[in-house]
Amino acid sequence: MEQIKIVEIFQSIEGEGRNIGLPMIFIRLEGCNLRCLWCDTKYSYDNENYTKMSLNEIINKVNSFKNIKHITLTGGEPLYNKGVISIINNLIDKYNILIETNGTIWNDELEKFDFNKIYLVCSPKPKEYFIHKKILEYCNELKFVIDKDIIFDTIFSIIKKSSKKVKITFQPENNKVEFLKKATLLQNKFLEIDIEIRVIPQIHKLFNIS
C-alpha cells in the first residue's frame, strides 16, 4: 500500500494570492528541491516533521472537514513529492484543487487531469527564477514575492513567456512596508505598459491565523 509523506493536513482560510479568504483544506506534503532563505515552512523539508499516511488515511482526514470545496496542495514543493498524483486522482472529483509550486518541477501525469478543476499557482524563486515550460503553459497565477532583489526586467521576462490567461500577483516579502512600497512602484511601472497586477499581503501572517 502506497505511503505518502505528509507534514500536516488542516483547515484554515487561504492566506495569500487571488483565492485569499476562501475556506480551505491544506495538505502540506513533505520535501522540497529548493532552499530559499526566506522560506517560512522549512519544517516541511527537514526530513523529520512528517507522517507516512496511506491514501485512505489522507482521504478520511480530508473528508472530516465538512462542506469545504477547496484543497491547497502545498509544501515544501508538492510536485517534488511522488504521492501528489495519487492524492489529486483521489480528490479531484469532489474538490477544487489548488497547487502551490515553485515552478521548477513538472510531472507529465498532471496532463491527464481536468485543469478546470485545478488552479495552478507558481511562485518563482531566486536567483534563477526558472519555471518549467509546462508550468508556464498551465499556470493560472504567477505570484512574485517582492523582496530587495527582484527587479522589473526579471518579472517582465517571465510574463512574456506565460500564457495569456495568467493572472499576476505581487506579494511583499513578510508583509514588510518597504516591500509593499516597492510592489506598488512596480505595479505602477507595469501599468504604463498596460499590464494590471494585484498587490496582496499574506493575511494569515497579518492576523496570526494558523
> Per-residue pLDDT tens for 113-137?
999 999 999 999 998 999 999 999 9
Instruction: Provide, rounded to the nearest whole percent, the portion of the chain with pLDDT above 70.
Output: 100
What's the pLDDT band for 86 if we cut at 50, 70, 90?
A: very high
Extract the C-alpha cell encoding 146. 517582492
**Neighbour-count burial for 29-39, b at 16+ CB within 10 Å, e otherwise:** bbbbebeeeeb
Average pLDDT over every residue of 53-62: 98
Question: What pLDDT band is residue 169 in, cutting at 50, 70 and 90?
Answer: very high
CATH number of 3-206: 3.20.20.70
* Coil vs helix vs strand at 127: coil
Separation of alpha carbons 61 and 79, rounded Å? 21
Residue among 147, 90, 91 at smallest CA distance from 124: 147
Instruction: Specify the pLDDT at position 116.
Output: 94
Confidence of residue 46 (pLDDT cuts 50, 70, 90): very high
pLDDT at 34 over 90: yes
pLDDT, one tens digit per residue, over 95-114 is 999 999 999 999 999 999 99
Residue 210 has pLDDT above 80, yes or no: no
pTM: 0.95
Write down the mean pLDDT value for the chain.
95
Strand order in the sheet with 141-146: 51-54, 3-13, 23-29, 70-74, 96-101, 118-122, 141-146, 167-172, 198-199
Q: In whole angstroms, what is the distance from residue 103 CA to residue 105 CA?
A: 6
Q: What residue spans define the domains of the chain?
A: 3-206
pLDDT at res. 205: 84
First-to-final CA distance of the chain: 32
Phi-psi region of 116 (alpha: psi -120 to 50; beta: other; left: phi over 0): alpha
Predicted confidence at residue 13, as pLDDT, reads 96
Is pLDDT at 1 greater than 80 in this prediction? Answer: no
